Structure 1
Amino acid sequence: MRAILQLLKNIKEKRRMIWDLAWADFRKRFVGSYFGMLWMFIQPLVTIAIYAFIFGPHGFKSTPPVPNVSYTLWLVPGIVPWFFFSEALNTITGILQEYSYLVKKVVFPIELLPVIKLLSCGFVHLFFFLVMLAFYLLSGEAPRFAWMQALYYSFAAGMLALGLGFFTSAINVFFKDMQQIVGILLQFGIWMCPIMYDEALFTKGRPWMSVLFKLNPFYYIVAGYRDSMLTGAPFWMRPQLGFYFWLVTAIFFVLGLCFFRKLRPHFSDVL
């Protein structure tokens, strides 16, 4: 608890610096790139197009569980938060090497570095969130207030990534292969949650599979995003799943932050 209070205090006191560094981190991704910020959209949009083709009406003809909704409309609110989570966790893992010059400064609160990277990824995610809204409007969907509820689930995804990121970034200082391992686990992890496929393919006649899916905390975020964008169901309609998610996320966050702070005195020596 003490570590969390100290982190919140540092965030409050250094909020201007956090914002400036996060914005600078966001901008430097595209420095020297001919197409600049277009690259921010190209790869995820190509990924969505590939999945939509493979599982859509021209491929395996997957039928979404929501009536009168195309596969692409069902896919987008599942994969957009995954892009945010996976990018945030992967980049947070390597943050201490990327900003090693700040780690070596005794006066700099380095537990803010994962927060800075998360905020930088949040800028990218905000663009995708707006693109998702535009896509729904262009598809003929009537706007509804519940769409804004997806921002709550984005915050939830960020907190999960930050909690795990404190742990993985600390490990990565001493074990340089950690970032590659995280990348592989994320490639595997996207299939452990019903993002591209309907979970009924596996749970029909096997109720234990439904429980297994819901043990993945990211299930709550995917289900919540689709509730917000497709059915308009409010977030309090899944109380048990929400309680489980925030309990697991809080455990990851506290343990990850404490682990990070415990190893912090050794970071500058190794880097």
Structure 2
Amino acid sequence: MANTLNSENQFTLVIEAGRADRHYWLDIWRYRDLFFFLVWRDILVRYKQTVIGIAWVVIRPILTMLVFTLVFGKLAKLPSEGVPYSLMVFSGMLPWFFFSSALSESSNSMVTNSNLLSKIYFPRIIVPISAIIVCLVDFFLSFLVLVPFMFYYGLFPDWKVITIPFFLLLAIMASLGCGLWLSALNIKYRDFRFILPFIVQIGLYVSPVGFSSNIVPEKWRLLYSVNPMVGVIDGFRWALLGGNFKLYLPGLYASIVLTLIVFMTGLSYFRRTERTFADLL
């Protein structure tokens, strides 16, 4: 928008179409205070008026680890690649719980913040990104539990631990890409909020959380790796536990390519549809 002085010495407001689009990415930085406010608000809301508070971040993966260890380790007697089965499960739980939480929170974030979206302008992508940042806080708290757990079993990571940020970034891009798709679709088709829990539940069992992906037959490994979390979980175990955990490189490349495709298409679809969000909400 620009102000121009006409012949009668009065200001005329000129609205230029598309100007907000041209400044979109710059506006993300300009609205950084709103971004930080949303992150801090969501952290406070998540643990406010709860009985066990932030301890739930630790209790949930531990309880799930115990169940998976009993079912897959004790009853099914699946191999653990030379490490304690509970430790193998816990190392797979960390990236999976981050992904599932980030996907759920980002997918519902636009509807949850509908009052804010309908009142003021700001780059809408701030909302799902802030939801994912909150889930990162949970991830780091859970990761702190894994460290003494590894020391207890006498396992110490080697140089491969420096690759953890790469696999975490892959999980962030996968969750954000899917979250952008679903958050936009959730506004237009509200029944997606009923489908999402089912998708997350199925994803838990088709991802190598409670077992090692090495049990998948070689001829199916590449197809199995179409699930981007396969490469992330295998990468976490390779970086943290070492031993017999090896990176299946064709599968890792497939996970990276698919994650990039989902992220770019999700970003493109979100940007094309976000101007209609306020009307639909």
Structure 2-normalised TM-score?
0.84
The 1:211/1:146 distance shift into structure 2, 3 A limit, reads closer
- CA shift for structure 1 position 198: 3.3
Q: Which residue number in structure 2 is paired with residue 108 of structure 1? A: 122
The 1:56/1:243 distance shift into structure 2, 3 A limit, reads closer
Q: Which residue number in structure 2 is paired with residue 53 of structure 1? A: 70
CA distances 1:39-70 after superposition (whole Å, capped 9, x unpaired): 2222222111111122224x222221x23x11
One-letter amino acid matched to 1:266: T
Work out which of the residue numbers 86, 106, 113 in structure 2 matches 1:99: 113
One-letter amino acid matched to 2:275: P
Q: Does 1:244 align with 2:258?
A: no
CA distances 1:122-146 after superposition (whole Å, capped 9, x unpaired): 1111111111122112222234343
In the aligned structure 1, how far is the partner of 2:33 from the partner of 2:162? 26
Q: Which residue number in structure 1 is paired with residue 18 of structure 2? A: none
In the aligned structure 1, how far is the partner of 2:193 from the partner of 2:22? 28
The share of aligned pairs that are identical, in percent, is: 27
Whether the 8 Å CA contact 1:73–1:136 is kept in 2: the answer is: yes
Whether the 8 Å CA contact 2:171–2:232 is kept in 1: the answer is: yes
CA distances 1:60-103 after superposition (whole Å, capped 9, x unpaired): 22221x23x11112111112100000010011111011111221
The 1:89/1:73 distance shift into structure 2, 3 A limit, reads same
In the aligned structure 1, how far is the partner of 2:251 from the partner of 2:214? 18
The 1:53/1:157 distance shift into structure 2, 3 A limit, reads same
**Which has a greater percent of helix?**
1
Q: Which residue number in structure 2 is paired with residue 194 of structure 1? A: 208
Q: Does 1:229 align with 2:240?
A: yes
Whether the 8 Å CA contact 1:7–1:112 is kept in 2: the answer is: no
Is the deviation greater in 10-19 or in 103-112? 10-19
In the aligned structure 2, how far is the partner of 1:37 from the partner of 1:125? 12
Whether the 8 Å CA contact 1:74–1:226 is kept in 2: the answer is: yes
- CA shift for structure 1 position 270: 2.0
Unaligned runs of 5+ in 2: 1-20
The 1:247/1:163 distance shift into structure 2, 3 A limit, reads same
- CA shift for structure 1 position 20: 3.2
CA distances 1:19-49 after superposition (whole Å, capped 9, x unpaired): 3321221121111112221222222221111
One-letter amino acid matched to 2:261: I
Whether the 8 Å CA contact 1:102–1:108 is kept in 2: the answer is: no
Q: Which residue number in structure 2 is paired with residue 32 of structure 1? A: 49
Q: Which residue number in structure 2 is paired with residue 63 of structure 1? A: 79
In the aligned structure 2, how far is the partner of 1:161 from the partner of 1:6? 26
In the aligned structure 2, how far is the partner of 1:36 from the partner of 1:52? 26
Q: Which residue number in structure 2 is paired with residue 265 of structure 1? A: 275
Report the 3-state secondary structure (helix = DSSP H, G, I; strand = E; otherwise coil) of the residue aligned with 1:84: helix
In the aligned structure 1, how far is the partner of 2:219 from the partner of 2:261? 25
Work out which of the residue numbers 210, 222, 225 in structure 2 matches 1:214: 225
- CA shift for structure 1 position 112: 1.0
- CA shift for structure 1 position 197: 2.1
Whether the 8 Å CA contact 1:30–1:36 is kept in 2: the answer is: yes
Q: Does 1:130 align with 2:130?
A: no
Q: Which residue number in structure 1 is paired with residue 38 of structure 2? A: 21
In the aligned structure 1, how far is the partner of 2:216 from the partner of 2:254? 22
In the aligned structure 1, how far is the partner of 2:214 from the partner of 2:157? 28
One-letter amino acid matched to 2:171: A
In the aligned structure 2, how far is the partner of 1:90 from the partner of 1:55? 26
Whether the 8 Å CA contact 1:153–1:224 is kept in 2: the answer is: yes
Unaligned runs of 5+ in 1: none
